[in-house]
């Protein structure tokens, strides 16, 4: 009994150390890389992290998605696309701001 208990504690400690070390390594690499790109590029990269995580969980773990997952992914992609546009690209929807002043 004691051997099983010690083994499970070791497994827990090892799992915690692996999780913490990989998270720390990832954060250091990500912070360094994001410091070298522009702010708009960095926001797109950070925003799409959840999509990449879902993609790899689907491919590697055969995870299945529901309608809410697809809708959330579509909203993330649309938000990233909106970030790449200029304010003048939205004139068709909101009109020209200078017209409202006059």
Per-domain boundaries in the chain: 1-36, 38-87
Band (96; pLDDT cuts 50, 70, 90): low
Model pTM score: 0.56
**pLDDT computed for residue 42 by the predictor:** 84
Quick: pLDDT tens for 31-81.
Answer: 898 889 888 788 888 888 888 889 998 999 898 999 999 999 999 888 888
HEC readout, the chain: CHHHHHHHHHHHHHHHHHHHHHHHHHHHHHHHHHCCCCHHHHHHHHHCHHHHHHHHHHHHHCCCCCHHHHHHHHHHHHHHHHHHCCHHHHHHHHCCHHHHHC
């Amino acid at each position: 009994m004691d051997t099983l208990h010690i083994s499970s504690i070791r497994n827990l400690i090892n799992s915690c150390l692996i999780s913490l070390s990989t998270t720390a390594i990832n954060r250091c690499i990500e912070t360094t890389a994001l410091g070298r790109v522009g702010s708009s590029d960095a926001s797109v990269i950070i925003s799409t992290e959840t999509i990449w995580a879902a993609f790899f969980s689907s491919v590697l773990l055969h995870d299945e998605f529901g309608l809410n997952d697809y809708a959330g992914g579509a909203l993330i992609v649309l938000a990233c696309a909106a970030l790449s546009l200029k304010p003048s690209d939205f004139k068709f929807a909101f009109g020209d701001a200078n017209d409202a002043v006059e």
